[in-house]
Amino acid sequence: MSTSAKTIGVVGTGVIGAGWAVRALSRGYDVVAWDPATGAQDKLHSAIERAWPAATKLGLFPGADQSRVDFASTPEELASRVDWIQENAPENEEVKRPLLRSLAAASGPDTIIASSSSGLLPSRLQDGCEHPERILIGHPFNPVYLLPLVEVVGGKQTSKATIEAAVAHYDDLVMHPLVVRHEIEGYLSDRLQEALWREALHLVNDGIATTEELDDAVAYGPGIRWAGMGTNLTFHLAGGEQGMRHMLHQFGPALKLPWTKLVAPELTDELIEAMASGCADQADGRSIAELEQLRDDYVLSVMRSLRPLDLGAGRIVAEREARIHESSAVQPWNEGADIDAPLELYSAVVEPDWVDYNDHMTEAAFLTAFGWASDKLFRFIGIDEAYRGAGHTFFTVETHLNYLREASLGEPLRFTTQVLGVGDKRLHIFHSMYHRESGELLCTTEQMLLHVDTGSERTAPILAHPAAALAAIAGAHRSLPKPDQVGHTIGVS
């Protein structure tokens, strides 16, 4: 069974289906889509266009192109053309079951079919399908192109090999595949969300709180904690040094108090109106598209804030960045290869967490961007995770930034790198940041770095391969003119 599908079928192109399409396209894969709704093709292209800026900020793999999507005329045609099928029909067994049977009959026996169902039992969905052992649930979370969680749920006839292939497939899309070990309605995450949702409906229905107050109660408190640790580890900390055991002894008796109502209230017209009008007030005139963009920006910011801590979705962001580096079209240096003068190894866009309240890049963001340019250089010469893991790395000892023009949110950037000098233990480099479209020079940095043995915490000679690469680059760059900013200090009149 395929574990690294290159052409992904998306059946049903609503919010979830479109999200799957964007995730696959941003991975550098082809997408074949089908949806019976009138105007579905145009709506899908519009949805991809709206989501593409967020996918770009998260990071695109080589070959990523939003135009690499084609529409099939029938689900059977789609099934015959793809390596993986992701079904996204409405959450209705009477719709999904005949559709899945058609897809199973028209696809090869090794083509895995995953349903994006948010709660239906896979055993019922796979019943009556040809080769039911390759059918399972792959339940994502909106927006699919950003949020990494996907619940993998097998049915009674799903094979172990299919579960393993699904985990590998979703990992290849840089997601967090969570295998639900026991088939159960609603799976795991939605059961937790439904409990919170039911309580919110009761609180609105009883006139206790508005939708905005309830959202504030999550967004300003537990929601921030949940982003990195979830519920259980968060409550484990509430127990102090004795952890969850003490927490349950101390607060457990409160679970018997009538604080919550697990049964949902009747969805009367009045309750529906209260919920709808409350959310309309919160939207404050902003369109769904505007709110989607706002959501994408804050989701990216939260995930990136967790990245340095290697927590939750931040770990997935770091993994995505590493894989994009590995998939980069720039080939690592090899002896005798031609060397660009200067090197051009990195490009980016100005990201939401790089800007201040004026939407301009901050000083720290310039350092971050130049840091990524340095990382590209390191990977080019052979300094990667394995090299650092063996106890060798470069430390920056001096940096000079020269700001020439502001860079604003979303602007495209490209970076060039010039090796000014290299010694046994030191490296002297110069990065230039340009606007990728206008070619205007925005900022430069001159850096001096020392090679360090992290075990002894002392400077140490650069190892053979990167030393040879740096020597070759320095030789190729020797004829380049010295940039005007090199060696400058702040002038005071």
Q: What is the per-residue pLDDT across 383-433, written as a single tens digit (0 to 9) for each?
A: 988 999 999 999 999 999 999 999 998 899 999 999 999 999 999 999 999
In the prediction, which pLDDT does 377 show? 95
Quickly list H helices, 307-353.
312-326
Q: Rounded to 10 degrees, what is the CA torsion of 469, 473, 478, 480?
A: -170
- Answer yes or no: is pLDDT of 435 > 80: yes
Quickly count helices (H) and strands (E) in the chain. 16, 14
In the prediction, which pLDDT does 430 show? 98
- H/E stretch holding 492 reads none
Question: What's the whole-number mean pLDDT along residues 61-82?
Answer: 96
- The sign of the dihedral angle between the CA atoms of 21, 24, 223, 252 is positive
Question: What's the whole-number mean pLDDT along residues 472-479?
Answer: 96
- Residue 77 CA to residue 121 CA, distance in Å, equals 26
Confidence of residue 230 (pLDDT cuts 50, 70, 90): confident
Question: What's the whole-number mean pLDDT along residues 281-298?
Answer: 87
pTM: 0.78
In the prediction, which pLDDT does 197 show? 93
- Residue 185 CA to residue 194 CA, distance in Å, equals 12
Confidence of residue 2 (pLDDT cuts 50, 70, 90): very low
Report the candidate in 259, 144, 140, 134 with the shortest Cα–Cα distance to residue 203: 259
pLDDT (tens digit, 9 = 90+) per residue, 199-214?
999 999 999 999 999 9
Confidence of residue 378 (pLDDT cuts 50, 70, 90): very high
Beta bridge partners of 416: 432
- Answer yes or no: is pLDDT of 328 > 70: no
Q: Are 84 and 116 in contact (CB under 8 A)?
A: no
For 225, residues 6+ apart whose C-beta sits below 8 A from its C-beta are: 234
In the prediction, which pLDDT does 478 show? 95
Beta strands in 342-422 (DSSP E): 343-349, 392-403, 412-422
Place of tokens 């309240």: 357
Q: Are 392 and 463 in contact (CB under 8 A)?
A: yes
Report the candidate in 170, 180, 122 with the shortest Cα–Cα distance to residue 147: 170
Please name each of the domains of the chain with its CATH number: 7-180 (3.40.50.720), 189-285 (1.10.1040.10), 330-477 (3.10.129.10)
In the prediction, which pLDDT does 491 show? 66
- Mean of per-residue pLDDT scores for the chain: 92
